[in-house]
Structure 1
Amino acid sequence: MHVKKAIIIGAGPAGLTAAFELLTRTGIQPIVLEKSEHFGGISRTANYKGNRIDLGGHRFFSKSDRVMEWWHRMLPIQALPPGTPEITYHRMRRSLQSGGSGPDPEREDNVMLLRPRKSRIYFRRRLFQYPITLSVDTIRKLGLWATFRIGLSYLRTVLRPLPEEKSLEDFFINRFGRELYRTFFQSYTEKVWGVPCSAISAAWGRQRIKGLSVRKVLGHALGKMFGRKGTSAKTETSLIEQFLYPKFGPGQMWEETARKVRELGGVIHTGRRVDGLTLEDGKVVAVKATNLATGESESYPADFFFSTAPLSELIESMTPAPPPQVRAVSQGLVYRDFVTVGLLVRSLKIHDETEQGRKLIRDNWIYIQESDVQVGRLQIYNNWSPYLVADPGTVWLGLEYFCNQTDALWSSPDADLEALARTELARIGIIETSDVLDATVLRVEKAYPAYFGTYDRFEVLRTYLDSLQNLFPIGRNGMHRYNNQDHSMLTAMVAVDNILEGRTDKSNLWEVNTETDYQEEE
């Protein structure tokens, strides 16, 4: 009897979700080809001398019940101490009540923690709440005149909004006013993308920020005053105040998923570089890959193909070659890379003042809005999970630098990048260089698919991909879409739905993460 097979390119969240879904819902055997020796893609966790690095920072929160329940089945949620306020995640309500059953993270490793979310903006050597709140603290730090200008600018925008949002700059201005945009959004966003906000499509804002605005922020603040918690799936994602997180970082989720895929009969080959796709009669018939350990070429015929590979690479690997206009769009797609410098330090110069005295700041990450440094964001890994840090008496930091592979920053020696990180954090008053104990550097290629270059002609590429009946592009790079990991997982789930239903129209794949609430309503 012929057992149908599916080749899955990439062992990130989308690829591993597709493999698990195929194994548990169909009779199709998945074969996963992963270029590296790691699982999770940019959601993997790197381990440096027992200190773990979460590449990019991954909150486990989704407005999709389907994803939340999937995570919960893979890694159970810790038992919450009595008196913990109930966390409402729709159908998961009972799972997150205090006093319920659940593993103790002090005794067991396969567990999801419930963590508080806190992020702030570092601007003018001061910390501001994120999202920005209209509070006495904000006004004091900004000054009355700057606050007045921001308020006046926002009112002007409310009365006379820009009639058409052509760019990300237009998107920000219409939601926050020109002054607030220039103060708290422009510098960081342009660090991330390396181009002016006026050159980026407004589609990025509509996808990543969705319904967030000054009105939503004010409404959220008023809701908190009257006791409403910011953990419901009805809350804008940027305002969620608690999230789930694997004990040892996001990579733990994908290592466990990979283990279960193999246990269920799926095949995962690491160290396999995909070099080509063979097409016949509007279908993919085989994938060619190189075994990086032996240098041997391998061929993998199958019935279905899932790809999380960057579209620019996927299109170029096809034989016969796609039409010239399709290749022109794929070749013009732009990606942004980033470098994480891990710094282990004795302490920080900035603190939270508490009744018990000075404590480590509670932020998971801090957006660095200072124009005199290159660092864009600072992670404090102790606050993601205390188990990410080998010595709890130290502070484990991740400095994120956004760049292109053609930039000098990308190719700089590790020692120079470590020195840059120490110097910049000291310059803006966050650490003393003498407090640095150790450092390491990690580089991530094609971390962010960009919404400029030939992105305005992406429909040409999508139409061609949709014409290949048994090819399912999924995930962030597979669809050239700035997805969070839950959206990437949903694309894999929907692709398997389509196979089970015999559906050839793939429009529902592309609809994931396009609506304002993305599956928020029941």
Structure 2
Amino acid sequence: MKVTNTNHSYSRHQHNFPLTVVIGGGPAGLTAAYQLAKHGIKSTILEKGDRVGGISRTETYKDYRFDIGGHRFFTKVPQVQHLWYEVLKDDFIKVPRLSRIYYKGKFFSYPLEPFNAVSNLGILHSLLILYSYFKVKVKPLPVEENFEQWVTNRFGERLYKTFFKSYTEKVWGIPCTQIRADWAAQRIKGLSLKKAVINAVFGSNDTKTLIKEFDYPILGPGMMWERFQEKLNAQGSPVHLNTEVIKVERQGKRITRIIAKRGDETLTLEGDQFINTMPVAALMHRLDPLPPENILKAARSLKYRDFLIVPIVVNEKDLFPDNWIYIHSPEFKVGRIQNFKNWSPAMVPDTNKTCLGMEYFCSQGDNLWEMDNKDLIRLASEEIVNLGLVDDISKVEDGTVIRQKKAYPVYDGEYKQHLEVLQDYVSTFENLQTVGRNGMHRYNNQDHSMLSALLAAENIMGANHDLWTVNTERSYHEDFVTDDKKKTPVSPSIKAKSINSKVVV
């Protein structure tokens, strides 16, 4: 390694092994590097933030720990679950799943329970929901191009408007008619009103159901990724924090080196292989020379939804039993509320207090995103009282704000055609793969991001996986399959024993 006062140059020629450069220290980037390290292939990981984990990191404020959105550890991919336990070992706890929906001044159990729903909605509204459901089953909508059409065909128009429309539009900031059906098919496939009622009334659990508990690192999800970081550093695959990639140099069909900034330092890294997890649109603008204009136009056309969380400290020992609550009522700006003490008691340093995460979905430049931190904390404090979850605003003792750019890739009406242009272009490079949620502009959970990374690592070792097929046919992320014949096939070279022999997770 050649080092000067202001420049660090890492060359693959100084080693007897191939070197992989990984852009991004989130679940996908760390998983790829870790899998390569297990096969003797060194990596250098470049992470723009001050800690690893990406959107799955755990932030801290005055010893209070909180997630950026809440991350449960459950999966239908046994290879991923095996990896979680291999890295974190006994530092998981089992957490019972409890969540509710707030709508029109009332709290609904989620998953929906018929007696609770009828009590809250009233008999007339409930009968109209059933009528709407049977009506669409007799005469379904002929086209399912957008979210509204897809959900209506499965739940009926009235239930769609009651429990899907307002919350979805709050999350994405656009009408449901502008959200592609792809997103609905990926996130809520396999559920139906009929199945929900049968499961709730009869306790049915034949092939699929919503999970009732999940694994969780005792100190939050960031604990997992920090453990990955420790192992990689110890294995000679360094993770560089606060390091931003500013240029990705290319010659013909090959990436040649990365230029990155870390404070006042400039790092130049050569490599044999490159794995990207930064937003694929941003990657196109980092290429040097730049790609053709049609590629840049497609990159500029991809849209993202941003996110901010306002953790507030409340001087109450117990507020409510839920892990999280969805706020569907449009009169409240908050979209979801996390109760981190109910994820793990170790997240809160004072057992007599509670830390709530007030989550707001927004876009850079809008009123919420630009709001002063003090005003955001005041807004969160007022809303938690108006929701009836805290009885006096004076009990909110402290708070902070964390903003997360590009938290969610948007599935608008044009995203698919633009993404296909970028996908085809990236495939022309011999030594570049792009994985993970933002790297593929796909609303993956962390397990699907990790699976794409495992397969990318295998490709470096000689396989030929199509990474873009990951999570295209998987059912809703909270379903699991108990029929072994329905296991998703994965490359034999990364097969691992299932942690739980009773279910495929």
TM-score, normalised to structure 1's length? Answer: 0.86
Say which of 18, 21, 26 aligns to 2:35. 21
Q: Which residue identity does 2:468 align to in structure 1?
A: W
Q: Secondary structure at the match of 1:312?
A: helix
- Residue 381 of structure 1 contacts residue 388 of structure 1 at CA under 8 Å; is this kept in 2? yes
Q: Shift of residue 478 of structure 1?
A: 0.5
Q: Shift of residue 361 of structure 1?
A: 2.5
Q: Shift of residue 360 of structure 1?
A: 4.2
Distance 2:35 2:332 in 1: 44
After superposing the two structures, state which structure 1 stretch, 243-252 or 448-457, moved more. Answer: 448-457
Within a 5 Å distance, the mapping from 1:295-444 to structure 2 comes to 296-347=265-316, 360-431=319-390, 432-444=392-404
* 2:208 alignment partner in structure 1: 235
Say which of 160, 167, 172 aligns to 1:193. 172
Q: Secondary structure at the match of 1:132?
A: coil
- Residue 201 of structure 1 contacts residue 452 of structure 1 at CA under 8 Å; is this kept in 2? yes
Against the structure 1 CA distance between its residues 345 and 218, is the aligned structure 2 distance closer, same or farther, given a 3 Å change threshold?
A: same
Q: Secondary structure at the match of 1:127?
A: strand
Q: Shift of residue 71 of structure 1?
A: 0.6
After superposing the two structures, state which structure 1 stretch, 239-248 or 465-474, moved more. Answer: 465-474
* 2:149 alignment partner in structure 1: 170
- Residue 319 of structure 2 contacts residue 389 of structure 2 at CA under 8 Å; is this kept in 1? no
Q: Secondary structure at the match of 2:227?
A: helix
Residues 1:450 and 2:419 aligned together: no
- Residue 45 of structure 1 contacts residue 55 of structure 1 at CA under 8 Å; is this kept in 2? yes
Distance 1:389 1:125 in 2: 29
* 1:496 alignment partner in structure 2: 457
Q: Which residue identity does 1:375 align to in structure 2?
A: V
* 1:354 alignment partner in structure 2: none
Distance 1:441 1:472 in 2: 34
- Residue 364 of structure 1 contacts residue 384 of structure 1 at CA under 8 Å; is this kept in 2? yes
Distance 1:116 1:301 in 2: 47
Cα deviations by residue, 1:386-417 (Å, 9 ceiling, x for unpaired):
11011111121000000011112112111000
Distance 2:366 2:446 in 1: 27
Distance 1:153 1:477 in 2: 37
Q: Secondary structure at the match of 1:367?
A: strand
- Residue 320 of structure 2 contacts residue 389 of structure 2 at CA under 8 Å; is this kept in 1? no
Against the structure 1 CA distance between its residues 223 and 324, is the aligned structure 2 distance closer, same or farther, given a 3 Å change threshold?
A: farther
Residues 1:202 and 2:175 aligned together: no
Q: Shift of residue 220 of structure 1?
A: 3.1
Q: Which residue identity does 2:56 align to in structure 1?
A: S
Q: Secondary structure at the match of 2:401?
A: strand
Q: Secondary structure at the match of 1:3?
A: coil
Q: Shift of residue 381 of structure 1?
A: 0.6
Q: Secondary structure at the match of 2:137?
A: helix
Within a 5 Å distance, the mapping from 1:107-256 to structure 2 comes to 111-134=91-114, 136-221=115-200, 224=203, 228=205, 235-236=208-209, 239-256=210-227
Residues 1:274 and 2:245 aligned together: yes
* 2:85 alignment partner in structure 1: 72
The two structures, once aligned, show a CA RMSD in angstroms of: 1.7
Against the structure 1 CA distance between its residues 288 and 223, is the aligned structure 2 distance closer, same or farther, given a 3 Å change threshold?
A: farther
Distance 1:76 1:493 in 2: 19
Q: Shift of residue 453 of structure 1?
A: 6.3
Q: Shift of residue 437 of structure 1?
A: 1.4
Q: Shift of residue 63 of structure 1?
A: 0.7
Unpaired segments of 5 or more residues in structure 1?
78-110, 349-358
Q: Which runs of 4+ in 1 moved over 3 A?
A: 516-520
Residues 1:288 and 2:259 aligned together: yes
* 2:235 alignment partner in structure 1: 264
- The percent identity for this pair of structures is 42
Q: Shift of residue 223 of structure 1?
A: 5.8
Against the structure 1 CA distance between its residues 480 and 157, is the aligned structure 2 distance closer, same or farther, given a 3 Å change threshold?
A: same
Q: Which residue identity does 2:399 align to in structure 1?
A: A
Q: Shift of residue 470 of structure 1?
A: 1.1
Q: Shift of residue 193 of structure 1?
A: 0.4
- Residue 325 of structure 2 contacts residue 336 of structure 2 at CA under 8 Å; is this kept in 1? yes
Q: Shift of residue 2 of structure 1?
A: 3.3
- Residue 16 of structure 1 contacts residue 258 of structure 1 at CA under 8 Å; is this kept in 2? yes
- Residue 4 of structure 1 contacts residue 27 of structure 1 at CA under 8 Å; is this kept in 2? no
Distance 1:56 1:142 in 2: 29
Q: Secondary structure at the match of 2:461?
A: helix
Residues 1:51 and 2:20 aligned together: no
Within a 5 Å distance, the mapping from 1:473-488 to structure 2 comes to 473-488=434-449
* 1:92 alignment partner in structure 2: none
Q: Shift of residue 271 of structure 1?
A: 1.4
Q: Which residue identity does 2:188 align to in structure 1?
A: I
Q: Which residue identity does 1:367 align to in structure 2?
A: Y
Against the structure 1 CA distance between its residues 58 and 223, is the aligned structure 2 distance closer, same or farther, given a 3 Å change threshold?
A: farther
Distance 1:40 1:453 in 2: 30
Unpaired segments of 5 or more residues in structure 2?
1-14, 488-505
Q: Secondary structure at the match of 1:467?
A: coil
After superposing the two structures, state which structure 1 stretch, 118-127 or 512-521, moved more. Answer: 512-521
* 1:512 alignment partner in structure 2: 470
